[in-house]
Structure 1
Amino acid sequence: MLTKKEIEQLIDKKNSSLKIVKPTVTPKSSAVWNSFSHIYVKDIKQEYVVCNQCEELLIYKPSSGTNSLSKHISSCQKVKTTASHNQTTINQFYASSKNEPAIPDRVKQEINVACAEFAALDSRSFKTIHGIGFKNLAQKIFDAGKYLPISKDINVEKLLPHPTTISRQINKLYNQKHQQLVSICEKMLEYTVVVDSWKDIHTGIQYCGISLHHINDDWKLYCFVLGCYHYDLESNSAINTRKFVESKLSDYKLQLNENVYIVSDNEPKMLSTFRLNCQRIGCSCHFINKQLEHMFTKKEIDKSPVQCDLAQVLFERVKKIVSHLRRSHKQTKMSKRVQTYSETRFNGAYHMLQVFLDIFDELGLVLDNINLNEYLLLDKEFLEQVCSFLKVFDEVIEQLSDDKQPTIYKVLPLHQRLLNECEVKPNDCEARRLKTVWVLQDVHYISCLLHPSLKQFQIAPHEKSKAMDLVKAELLKRQSSTSSGSSIINITPCSSTKSSTTSKSQQLTPTTQNILLECFDHPAEDEDPVLVPSPEKELTQY
């Protein structure tokens, strides 16, 4: 709950998270509610109400009654004899922008100069000025000036705390936010935990990152980074990794069980770590990135040769030239900065090759004789073909990397989209791995079927029957025991279900603004509506 001063500041700043809502008045309600409105911040009801006439904030708790509100009405000079029953709009509590004091141009110019000096003297990014934290600091200092005597010159250094004081405040702030997050986690019944671990090649220190993802009752997605921890156990065995993750989750009153999903990479250690007492889902982006890494860097996979010789030669030559440009600082003479290849960056090969392609014609003027010979051996047309091929993978990774909304329903159609992009030949080991190693799980089929634009499976008609069977099985599993005598959904193989989509071939366009749109179903023909479908037919009709 916010304090009175904090709510007043939100009103002054016209914060969009604050709402003024007129209460619903019933015959049993007190008459005072015709003159007051509730205050909500981020959809959380506060312990303050606002007078509709004088706009004063008053504390109100249901346990205390409305006596204090009645006293305010009797003393408020602006209360009208007739009160409007319409919902109060928040605009009436905000002053018109026309009435805001004008800031002199001289003051604006001085602030502009001071911001430029701040960025230059402290080596800070220009975007720092627009950061939430910087704006809050500037507003606090500005507000402090209202309470200081005008006649005296105040040294701002007396307002700013010592770095040690700030470090101590950070610990207090962390403890406060940690307790708030613990109180939120205690109420979660179902959630997803994302786990990743890596090792610093320079220091040898191993780290483990854990994040939490939860959808509340209002279908809003919340993402929390629980921490990036130093892995301090004796070994990296699966048992120790599981023990380490569970200990960190217990700090937030969380524990792994059959209702909890774990998303991790697909290394053997992670497969063993989260094999039991949770539902592990492999990171699809990790699947894709590993296959692309194998294509450019491996000669053999599972004792089978990787037949990507031309692509690997191209990759190594570009990588060598990029490394030279980074060391010699000659990239300052080009329109774009070259990017080195990183195994940990998703589709790192594409980003390196694409930037190289963009500045291809500029390279001949900055390379020395040795690297110029390597440059002349490159086939620009082949480089364009490789970048065009990898671009589809990059678009898929971007679609699956959204952190604002769930992406689980996108996995199956985008998986099939990549398979359609790759022409799998009998001796093509790498293309076959994209189909055999990247194994889809039941949740991918179910979530795809439940999406209105993907339910016909026109991108992958051969997968529809499996998805239908899985959804029917889940429906049966959730049926109440009291309905044992009622109609039961008949689980039959969906291959016998009449469907016109299995005979359709999905025509894919090579380039679109959104690759996911290529996977959506075509608009279906209008059918005669069924007024009261039976339970057995409802899922099939869907």
Structure 2
Amino acid sequence: MSNQNIDFPMNGKMKWKIQTAHHPPKQTSPSLKSWIQCLLKDGTTALSRHQNSACSAAPKSSKSSSNNQTTLNFGLKNVPSGAVAALNEDVVIGLAQDLRPLNSVGSRGFLKIAKSLIHFGAMYGDQDPKSILKHRTTLKREFLPKLVDAKRNDISMLVGAAPQFPFFAFTSDMWSDKYRQRSFLSLSIHYINNNWKLTSHMLGVDEFTEDHKTTINIRQQCRQILSKFFGNNVDDVMTNSWIVTDSATQVANAEKNGREIHPKKFFSFKESCPRFHGALVSIKDVVTYFKQSSLNSKLTSTLKQEVATRWNRELIMLESYLKAASEVQNLLLQNGKINKLSTIDNESVKELVDFLGPFEECTKVFSQDSQPTLYQIAPWFHKLHQHLEINEDDSDELKLLKGQAMICFAEYCKTSTMHYVAALLNPKFRKLKFASEEKKAEARKEMKQLIMGEIEKERDQAGKDAGHSEKPRPTDPGPEAKKSRFADIEDSDTEENSTEIGLASSSDLAIAEMNKYLDAKLTELNIDSFLISEISDKEKESQVHFDILGFWCGATKFPHLQKIAQRLLAIPASQSTDERVFPSTWATKQELVECGNTVFIASSDYIEAEYQFLTKNYPWHKFYKGKEVLRECAYGVVFRSAGNSKLPSYYRSLVETGIQGRVEEELNSRLNLFRDPGAPEYINKYADVEFGDAIGFD
């Protein structure tokens, strides 16, 4: 008797494993044969049914079943903890060998690669990675172009079938790598699909090859990207679409004829608000001390350092300090550093947190790309304006800070009629209580014009369809019948119906539909069914969110407004989608300088150039060069078949006299010739923030 395992692969996902004890031919179990026949014939479903029936019909026996052993195992296997630990150790070693951060294991790309490798190993067993994975040149020349073309074709089909074609929303951003003197431009598209889901695609991140970032060049770059997806319809798309950018003058002018940029209002935060400024500087010093002394790990809620790459960085730092203020005080007292809190007034810190809090909330709302944001601009504009109004209970420094913030707010934060039209699309804002009478009238007038445009478009399309439709063949009337005495006053099917809705003016129809929507009660619109409760990450409290896309998806009573909503609600409030594509060079350098534990690894020439650049531009920090050389290799110059040539002796003279070393030093210094350092700590520390605008291509 011998034991044997029989494995049956099922669609590449799981295996049925039958372990049986083979007997002599005369004693072969008929049940096993029928099981295998069912498996080969009908698959897993029939096998499960057969197993259930066989188990229920099998007679009970007191004899040992060792000679008739049958086991069925399928599904995911339980992985031993030791194997999991060994795998994670290999992951850590691999990341360390390639000098990759450990947080790479949580990225989507790493998880996709890991999932594919696990599936590949399960299907084909242990393989040599070098024979399976292609060279990077092969990946670049063969695989990458195919994947890009396939993805571009998929996006082209999706945007071509979009219900609001050719009315789209775009976001764009530009980024310059001054170290290598290269610039890039990104362009993303946003629309609402047939299922009323807000959809975004990155259309391109192309290198900006022109030397000058002029209006014409930027517009031409956008056209080149769009032509890959829209072909001959690119002009129609650019004429009817909207683009959201930051306040960069060139980008704004590329999409529109620009607007006057007023000069910035200079405000010395240090001189006007010394109490607030002293608290900020001292808290930053405390956070740095806790980071460097490893005291941060002893706090229940750790302190967050002010990092230039993080939005609302001052607020995050201040909030982290308030949460751990008592613990920080105790630890500083134990270590004899209590003097670091001498200039920190907790009341001042709370005032700053309360002042900056609404701006952080507004930033999070406008930077999301999974929900519509355009309709929230006008309400938030009103709320922030109220927040900046000076109250009698405010301290003197807070009054000065609010006054300067109001000046910047009026200069950089502006609303247009379209923002209020988008607010009207929210059933809860139909009365526009936060707007002036002039803004209300302009918004309703614009909404009426948009509805009239949709009506006229429908009529034009109906006329084209009627013109292309085949006329019915005339039938033989037969002998002419005798006309009735009242034939001239009787109704006839050949006459036009004077009560057709098509004869009504588009203005009357637009007013009727708009008034029907604006005058409807909330109960009639069934608003409560579109309220979604969600937990806030910050307050840990339940907040009610209105599903505006779900509402307009079912708003068939307002067909033209429904189309307008599908077009306008796709416009984002900011270009945060493209901002996430590019890391800011200045912010990255600023973060490097502020962090005391950053390591830069490169070749010897680049190391020397980087060391000279950082030492020169950041003299208040001490930088070190490591003594250990990784992957050390020797190099030299060999003259083959020199013969009687004097070139080798000339070159030896250049080396011995130090001319070659001086040339190499000059070449290294030129690597940073056009490179600008990040702004020093004491310059533009609290610079004004420019808000983006929603502008049209034309």
**Aligned partner (choices 419, 423, 429) of residue 448 of structure 1:** 423
Cα deviation 1:437-474 (Å, max 9, x = unaligned): 31112322112111223223345575544322221222
Cα deviation 1:157-179 (Å, max 9, x = unaligned): 47642443555534443343234
Bigger radius of gyration: 2
Structure 2: which 5+ runs fail to align? 1-9, 16-40, 45-71, 96-101, 392-398, 461-500, 523-538, 549-556, 561-698
Tell me how far 1:214 sits from its aligned partner.
2.2
- Match runs of 1:380-391 below 5 Å: 380-391=346-357
Cα distance change on mapping 1:110 and 1:356 into 2, 3 Å: same
Contact 1:330/1:366 (<8 A) preserved: no
1:121 corresponds in structure 2 to 93
Cα distance change on mapping 1:104 and 1:516 into 2, 3 Å: closer
1:376 corresponds in structure 2 to 342
Matched, 1:396 2:368: no
Matched, 1:211 2:188: yes
- Match runs of 1:90-105 below 5 Å: 101=74, 105=78
SS in 2 for 1:469: helix
SS in 1 for 2:429: coil
Tell me how far 1:182 sits from its aligned partner.
3.8
Matched, 1:134 2:126: no
Cα deviation 1:142-193 (Å, max 9, x = unaligned): 1223xxxxxxxx5554764244355553444334323433444455523211
Cα distance change on mapping 1:205 and 1:158 into 2, 3 Å: closer
Cα deviation 1:491-517 (Å, max 9, x = unaligned): 79x9xx99999xxxxxxxxx8957886
**Matches of 2:181 and 2:289 in 1, distance apart?**
27
TM, length-normalised to structure 1 = 0.59
Cα deviation 1:263-316 (Å, max 9, x = unaligned): 10123333212105xxx99xxxxx9xxxxxx99xx5279xxx996554444434
**Aligned partner (choices 81, 88, 100) of residue 109 of structure 1:** 81
Contact 1:416/1:459 (<8 A) preserved: yes
SS in 2 for 1:224: strand
Contact 1:409/1:448 (<8 A) preserved: yes
SS in 2 for 1:131: helix
Matched, 1:351 2:326: no
Cα distance change on mapping 1:451 and 1:437 into 2, 3 Å: same
Give 2:150's aligned amino acid: Q
**Matches of 1:323 and 1:140 in 2, distance apart?**
47
Tell me how far 1:332 sits from its aligned partner.
5.1
**Matches of 1:182 and 1:367 in 2, distance apart?**
64
**Matches of 1:8 and 1:415 in 2, distance apart?**
57
Contact 1:410/1:516 (<8 A) preserved: no
Cα distance change on mapping 1:213 and 1:491 into 2, 3 Å: closer
Contact 2:284/2:305 (<8 A) preserved: no
**Matches of 2:211 and 2:122 in 1, distance apart?**
52
Q: Please provide the CA RMSD for this pair.
A: 4.8
Give the length in aligned residue pairs: 394
Tell me how far 1:223 sits from its aligned partner.
1.2
Tell me how far 1:382 sits from its aligned partner.
1.1
Tell me how far 1:249 sits from its aligned partner.
2.7
1:469 corresponds in structure 2 to 445
Cα distance change on mapping 1:172 and 1:438 into 2, 3 Å: same
SS in 1 for 2:230: coil
**Matches of 2:217 and 2:268 in 1, distance apart?**
32
Cα distance change on mapping 1:244 and 1:467 into 2, 3 Å: same
Matched, 1:270 2:251: yes
Contact 1:424/1:432 (<8 A) preserved: no
Contact 2:173/2:185 (<8 A) preserved: yes
SS in 1 for 2:370: coil
**Matches of 1:512 and 1:333 in 2, distance apart?**
24
**Matches of 1:114 and 1:213 in 2, distance apart?**
44
Cα distance change on mapping 1:216 and 1:383 into 2, 3 Å: same
Tell me how far 1:195 sits from its aligned partner.
0.6
Contact 2:424/2:432 (<8 A) preserved: yes
TM, length-normalised to structure 2 = 0.47
**Matches of 1:128 and 1:512 in 2, distance apart?**
26
SS in 1 for 2:229: coil
**Matches of 1:195 and 1:265 in 2, distance apart?**
8
**Aligned partner (choices 123, 133, 140) of residue 161 of structure 1:** 133
Cα distance change on mapping 1:431 and 1:308 into 2, 3 Å: farther
Of all paired residues, the percent bearing the same amino acid is: 20
**Matches of 1:131 and 1:452 in 2, distance apart?**
42
Cα deviation 1:24-64 (Å, max 9, x = unaligned): xxxxxxxxxxxxxxxxxxxxxxxxxxxxx9699xxxxxxxx
- Match runs of 1:409-420 below 5 Å: 409-420=375-386
Cα distance change on mapping 1:445 and 1:325 into 2, 3 Å: same
Contact 2:171/2:245 (<8 A) preserved: yes
Tell me how far 1:423 sits from its aligned partner.
1.5
Give 2:91's aligned amino acid: A
Contact 1:191/1:215 (<8 A) preserved: no
Structure 1: which 5+ runs fail to align? 1-6, 14-52, 57-98, 146-153, 282-286, 288-293, 502-510, 521-531, 536-542
Tell me how far 1:239 sits from its aligned partner.
2.7
**Matches of 1:155 and 1:398 in 2, distance apart?**
47
Contact 2:275/2:348 (<8 A) preserved: no
Q: Greater helix share, 1 or 2? A: 2
Cα distance change on mapping 1:375 and 1:273 into 2, 3 Å: farther
**Matches of 2:416 and 2:544 in 1, distance apart?**
20
Give 1:244's aligned amino acid: Q
Tell me how far 1:261 sits from its aligned partner.
1.0
Matched, 1:229 2:192: no
Cα distance change on mapping 1:465 and 1:320 into 2, 3 Å: farther
SS in 2 for 1:234: coil
SS in 2 for 1:299: coil
Cα distance change on mapping 1:189 and 1:377 into 2, 3 Å: same
Give 1:390's aligned amino acid: L
2:302 corresponds in structure 1 to 336
**Aligned partner (choices 391, 405, 418) of residue 430 of structure 1:** 405
- Match runs of 1:173-252 below 5 Å: 173-187=147-161, 188-200=165-177, 205-252=182-229
SS in 2 for 1:218: coil
SS in 1 for 2:202: strand
Give 1:418's aligned amino acid: L
Cα distance change on mapping 1:336 and 1:209 into 2, 3 Å: farther
Give 1:352's aligned amino acid: M
Cα distance change on mapping 1:127 and 1:260 into 2, 3 Å: same
Give 2:245's aligned amino acid: S
Cα distance change on mapping 1:512 and 1:176 into 2, 3 Å: closer
**Matches of 1:178 and 1:221 in 2, distance apart?**
19
Matched, 1:315 2:290: no
**Matches of 2:271 and 2:453 in 1, distance apart?**
45
**Matches of 2:94 and 2:321 in 1, distance apart?**
34
SS in 2 for 1:252: helix
Tell me how far 1:112 sits from its aligned partner.
1.7
**Matches of 1:139 and 1:270 in 2, distance apart?**
46
**Matches of 1:272 and 1:166 in 2, distance apart?**
39
Cα deviation 1:230-269 (Å, max 9, x = unaligned): 3332122333222223223333336352211101012333
**Matches of 2:520 and 2:77 in 1, distance apart?**
70
Cα distance change on mapping 1:516 and 1:345 into 2, 3 Å: farther
